[in-house]
A and B are shown apart, each in its own frame.
Chain A
Amino acid sequence: MSLELKNVEKKVGIETHIYPTNIKLEKNTINVLLGSTLAGKTTLMQIMAGLDKPTSGEIWFNGENVTGKQVQKRNVSMVYQQFINYPSFTVYENIASPLKITGVNSDEIKERVGKVAELLKLSAMLDKKPDELSGGQQQRTALARALVKDSDLILLDEPLANLDFKLREELREELPKLFEDRECIVVYATTEPSDALMIGGNTATILEGKIIQYGKTLDVYNRPENLTSAKVFSDPPMNIAEISKSGDTCKLIDNSVQWKSNVKIKDGNYKIGIRPHNITTYKEGNNTVEINGKVLISELSGSESLIHFTNGNLNWVSLSNGIQQKNIGENTKLFMNVDEFLYFDENNRLVNHG
């Protein structure tokens, strides 16, 4: 089982929504499409589902060209960001509907709906209408409907985006388990890098209708092919600075911060990418370098502290564990974990692989 997009392109009028794209998704994988809003994730999913036709290119499923094959005749399920259920049906009828339509006999429907309802903790709500449920339960119903039939392809379009924080955390942990023993390809679109890391599997970073990089999620995260991919896969945004290297000494251009590095690259000018959590108010890792900054904003999110500061002409973002109170305008000292720096050449390609 595999899903392959061959040179798929989508244009609407003169605008290009998806640039020619090639990607092959293998069976029993969860594939995360990671990109900001309007990056083309939804369009890509609609093309995969057959709800939308590509302007050019082909879609192959299991070695069969399914371009233009009606969505009803493909075996797919889809869950949207909005909680989409059939308002006039009860939860039970909602979950049963994909089975009923394909003529599964009623005993089997009962059994399968019961099973999936239990899995998604909906057993007590089967007789209710969707609008009597909470948002989380509504989305569980939609998920149940997607899981009840044995789809070859399950598409989840930002399924957690409209849920509140707690429910999101909870469902995000459950999701990968739901797909564990299934023979199918799962595609999961999200704007949040943390979702991708949590779900694992494979990740494709997408920007403005182009797939930047596709590979194992951790590989894409740790070794982004280029600066764009690294930017897409970083939240809060990645810090980028220009440096010059001579010998084993690296130095920020226009700045006095310098450090020793054993990266095996030629001397010259580079860009470095530093993820916010690698700049902290305490020392972390074996090699750290100090950086002074003037605090712009200091905010708390949960048990983490986000400190925006300026150094030289650049604005920096740092993310530390624990509650680190800083006053606006205060001069402060932070530590950067040198081993985690990503070095990019003048073409924005990563140079320190591994």
Chain B
Amino acid sequence: MLPIYWLINMSFKTTTEIINTYSLWPREFTTENYVKIFTDSTWYMGYVNSITYTVFNTLISVAAALPAAYAFSRYKFLGDKHLFFWLLTNRMAPPAVFALPFFQFYSSVNLFDTHIAVALSHCLFNIPLAVWILEGFMSAVPKELDETAYVDGYSFNRFFFKIFIPTIAAGIGITMFFCFMFSWVELLLAKTLTATEAKPIAATMTRTASTSGYELGLLAAAGSLTIIPGAIVIYFVRNYIAKGFAMGRV
């Protein structure tokens, strides 16, 4: 809790106070730092950009992972286990490895500096993760549920959307949370693939820091705000996460 407290503490101080004195709470309480962030578009657009590509990425990852995870959990096909493992190994490579090919590729297809470019590049590690988590939840659902639905007269599509997805809602919630988190905190790809239009907040923070010396108070305020989306998401999925831990795939 200490780093978080210190960050919030700093965010309500002036930069002079941060540099010159040691104080456990702000002597001159100021909200100026926050006002600046919410009024200056170079600042608040950073949040908008980050949230935009993060939400895009979460939706794409889950949408792509649902059918894939279903296939892995329900069907046996040639090399299914190898493919499943290979998907996971994608997660092991550092994203930096892919920064250059992504940069070159998106530049050549004119997607450089767009939200969708960042969202798609984050799929590289989020889709495997989503497949892995969802597969665990789907395999916990007995295949007799599928069969019962077919016997009752459900077609595959109706079964999948009306029965199966509500059944694994907890799993989908957790998956979305993890996709959101990983996309939100990822900096390197997001920074490499954007210039101005889709610049993430973390990049904004590193760049603005040097323009007029170190504005530590402002940086601290920006930092505090980056915690909020994660906290909100956690609040909504906290019950699901407990369930997910109990089911053993998170």
Q: Give chain A's interface residues, CB within 8 Å of chain B.
A: 46, 49, 51, 71-72, 76-78, 80, 82, 84, 86-89, 97-98, 101-102, 142, 145, 149
Residues of B within 8 A of A46 (CB): 147
The 10 closest A-B pairs by CB, nearest first: A88-B166, A98-B152, A101-B153, A78-B151, A80-B144, A71-B150, A84-B148, A84-B144, A86-B163, A72-B153
List 24 A–B pairs whose Cβ atoms lie within 8 Å, in order of A's numbering: A49-B147, A51-B147, A71-B147, A72-B154, A77-B152, A78-B148, A80-B142, A80-B148, A82-B142, A82-B144, A84-B144, A84-B148, A86-B145, A86-B167, A88-B163, A88-B166, A88-B167, A89-B163, A97-B154, A101-B153, A101-B154, A101-B158, A142-B148, A145-B148
Residues of A within 8 A of B142 (CB): 80, 82, 84
Given contacts A86-B163, A145-B152, 8 further A-B contacts (CB under 8 A): A51-B151, A71-B150, A72-B154, A77-B152, A82-B144, A84-B145, A97-B154, A149-B152
CA distance A200 to B150 in the complex (A): 30
Residues of B within 8 A of A84 (CB): 142, 144-145, 148
Would you give the 0/1 interface string for B158-189, flagging 1 where the beta carbon is closer than 8 Å to chain A? Answer: 10000100110100000000000000000000
Q: A78-B147, A84-B145, A84-B148 are in contact. Are A98 and B163 (CB under 8 A)?
A: no
Q: Cβ of A97 and Cβ of B152 under 8 Å apart? A: yes
Q: Cβ of A87 and Cβ of B150 under 8 Å apart? A: no
Q: Is B155 an interface residue (CB 8 A)?
A: yes
CA distance A86 to B161 in the complex (A): 12
Q: Cβ of B152 and Cβ of A51 under 8 Å apart? A: no
Would you give the 0/1 interface string for B9-49, flagging 1 where the beta carbon is closer than 8 Å to chain A? Answer: 00000000000000000000000000000000000000000
CA distance A314 to B234 in the complex (A): 67
Residues from 116 to 157 in B contacting A, C-beta threshold 8 Å: 142, 144-145, 147-155
Q: Is the interface of A mostly helix, strand, loop or mixed?
A: mixed
Residues of A within 8 A of B163 (CB): 86, 88-89
Query: Smallest distance from the beta carbon of A103 to chain B beta carbons, Å?
Result: 10
Q: Cβ of A76 and Cβ of B151 under 8 Å apart? A: yes
Q: A82-B142, A101-B153, A101-B158 are in contact. Are A87 and B167 (CB under 8 A)?
A: yes
Q: Cβ of A49 and Cβ of B151 under 8 Å apart? A: yes
Query: Smallest distance from the beta carbon of B159 to chain A beta carbons, Å?
Result: 10
Closest B residue to A87 using CB positions: B167
CA distance A35 to B152 in the complex (A): 27
Residues of A within 8 A of B149 (CB): 86
Closest B residue to A153 using CB positions: B151
Residues of A within 8 A of B144 (CB): 80, 82, 84
Query: Smallest distance from the beta carbon of B151 to chain A beta carbons, Å?
Result: 5
Residues of A within 8 A of B150 (CB): 51, 71-72
Q: A82-B142, A86-B163, A88-B169 are in contact. Are A98 and B147 (CB under 8 A)?
A: no
Query: Smallest distance from the beta carbon of B82 to chain A beta carbons, Å?
Result: 19
Residues of B within 8 A of A97 (CB): 152, 154
Residues of A within 8 A of B145 (CB): 84, 86
CA distance A210 to B159 in the complex (A): 34
Query: Smallest distance from the beta carbon of B157 to chain A beta carbons, Å?
Result: 12
Q: Which one of A86, A87, A98, A149 has the highest number of Cβ atoms from chain B below 10 Å of its Cβ?
A: A86
Closest A residue to B158 using CB positions: A101
Q: A80-B144, A82-B144, A84-B142 are in contact. Are A71 and B151 (CB under 8 A)?
A: yes
Q: Cβ of B148 and Cβ of A72 under 8 Å apart? A: no
CA distance A98 to B158 in the complex (A): 12
